Structure 1
């Protein structure tokens, strides 16, 4: 079976702990090279048996034997390296947020199309099967007409000094880092775009970074949505859909991998409660999906238009926060 030959740009933690192991396990992919500017490349290459090591990202992109690259670099570097990779004919999986605004996202998508390469933002959570099941339950009418969706993603960032999440110039902030998941989930599950936003947030006085945000969205289909994200709250990663007859709760929405890949769907209808436990390996499924799209030249699940749409909402949230 032909495999997509992946190159990894940097030795970021998410690459070492999640994505590289997933590529190694994938039936249609292999890690062919890694590049690093931190000096940790040789250590990572040795740990995972990666055959090629480059000391610069440019060298890796110039390798004709690399089909696709994974980019887990700091947010402000995504645009440059996605465009450079596309110009070298490499397909690109880029960590979220893929860009810092919708204008940059549009440029990145256009460059990738011009160079006939596939480009996907790495919202890995969407590949867990629990979310398709939620959409099936909604479509069945079991909870009636959907009226409201709520989503939360938070954790306590105990060491803020020197943390890249607190660097405004490098794309730091709770909306970029974790609020983006909530926005994506609302658009993904409800299949509708926000047309108005209202935001209340807490800004760090020293860095100007948003520590937390509470956002209210009005969707084009008439449904309301609320989400909150924070670096100053206990860990939560959940969403809930409330209908006229019942509700669906998903308490492990964005990081089911922390619980061995188990997702939980709780459906309450009148006085009846049902619980479904659904397992899935989201990183592996993400890699196999994207690799298969490359091998068969088939559509990817998360399109460039949808990525731009997510960035438009983030732009609107930041604009509302500033005003």
Structure 2
């Protein structure tokens, strides 16, 4: 019932708390993801408001601002920097293509802005390390937006694993794939120069979830395979990794699964299966759980059960998306309060390091490093 409510109802627009000024957000780029990732969640958060957007095209920025009720627009060749220079802005939301994350996050931090950064945080682990080091020097908050980690369903799965109800881990499988035709051939996800590839896009989720459920990082890549969209750009990647304690991890990601018999579109693969010595946990839709999800726990010696969870005992509403939970945590962190969950510097660096190791195994190599050189 919670998932249906979240789709058909409109959450109340919140006002600022009397003792706390709302954080003012600016969006880099008129991005299609921003309404779900920030604009809608901010409407129900009393301490977050989106006040500006920057776009390469002033006309596109104006249209975007009208559509979403954003007061300020910065456009043209200098629009991004003008947004960063706006003294009213507290936080920059950076949903630019992967290959532009490093440059504009470094510039935003240099301008004294907190940053909510879309994933993957950059094209290389070293770039991510540099961004976090600058954030630490500036005493600013930088968060890689792995929104799924903030939703109670994923934390519930982790709690079941850690409870030892099913015994030690044996293997973890995480998948994220969509049917062909969802993304056009011109989509930036297929642009190598911008950090394209299935492993960068959907694969970053599968690796993050695998690492989170395992409670540790892979020790090696045992095997990896891919199907190409174009030279150096994987449309699909699968890999098997060795995890601590003899556990194995399998990931699968695909930006365009071919139809059955060349006619029937495939259903999305949005799940994870965790095998333990004493049973199995299967989760459906860990990425967008507010729409629908299920956790199926099957003990070897016990009764199978299905769980669904949309809220924490003292946090959230049934209609809160993973993005809304993420915004709650981000605002709390900036305000000096303890967030319910967090994606750390070490976590972000490690996730991209695994991506790079899989690309090395397939022979495709890491995505290109940014040519931007910080001036300070």
TM-score interval, smaller chain = over 0.9
Structure 1 partner of 2:278: 245
Give the 3-state SS of the residue equivalent to 2:342 in structure 1: coil
Q: Separation in 1 of the partners of 2:229 and 2:157? A: 40
Q: Tell me, yes or no, if structure 1 residue 31 matches structure 2 residue 47.
A: no
The gaps in structure 1 that reach 5 residues or longer are none
- Displacement of 1:189 in angstroms is 1.6
- Residue 231 of structure 1 aligns to a residue whose secondary structure is strand
List alignment gaps of at least 5 residues for structure 2.
1-16, 258-265, 311-319, 365-376
- Which structure would you say has the larger Rg? 2
> In the TM superposition, what whole-angstrom CA distance separates every residue of 1:39-91 from its partner, at most 9, and x where no partner exists?
32112222222222212011111111111111110110000000000001100
TM norm structure 2: 0.81
- After TM superposition, give the deviation of residue 166 of structure 1 in Å: 1.1
Higher strand share: 1
Does residue 227 of the first structure (1) align with residue 227 of the second (2)?
no
1:289 matches 2:329: yes
Task: Judge which range, 130-139 or 292-301, deviates more.
Answer: 292-301
- The Cα offsets for residues 154-177 of structure 1, whole Å up to 9 and x where unpaired, read as 012425421111111111100000
In the aligned structure 1, how far is the partner of 2:194 from the partner of 2:162? 40
Kept after mapping to 1: 8 A contact 2:153/2:289: no
Q: Please, which of 174, 186, 196 is the counterpart of residue 151 of structure 1? A: 174
The range that moved more, 114-123 or 269-278, is: 269-278
Alignment correspondent of 1:278 = 309
Within 5 Å, give how 1:82-93 maps onto structure 2: 82-93=105-116
TM-score, normalised by the number of residues in structure 1: 0.94
Instruction: Tell me the CA shift for residue 178 of structure 1.
Output: 0.4
> 3-state SS of the aligned residue for 2:120?
coil
Correspondence 1:175 to 2:175: no
Cα separation, 2, equivalents of 1:184 and 1:221: 18
Cα gap change, 1:160/1:15 in structure 2, threshold over 3 Å: closer, same or farther? Answer: same
Determine if contact 2:242/2:248 at 8 Å carries over to the other structure.
yes
Structure 1 segment 250-265 matched on structure 2, within 5 A: 250-257=283-290, 259=291, 262-265=292-295
The structure with the greater share of residues assigned to helix is: 1
Provide the rounded CA distance (Å) in 1 between the counterparts of 2:132 and 2:295. Answer: 34
The whole-number CA distance in structure 2 between the counterparts of 1:60 and 1:134 is: 40
SS of corresponding position for 2:224 = strand
Separation in 2 of the partners of 1:162 and 1:62? Answer: 32
Alignment CA distance shift 1:224-1:202 (3 Å): closer
One of 242, 266, 271 as aligned partner of 2:296: 266
1:60–1:146 distance in 2 versus 1, CA, 3 Å: same
Partner residue of 2:211?
Answer: 187
Provide the C-alpha distance between the structure 1 equivalents of 2:286 and 2:223, rounded to a whole number of angstroms: 22
C-alpha deviation, 1:205, in angstroms: 6.1
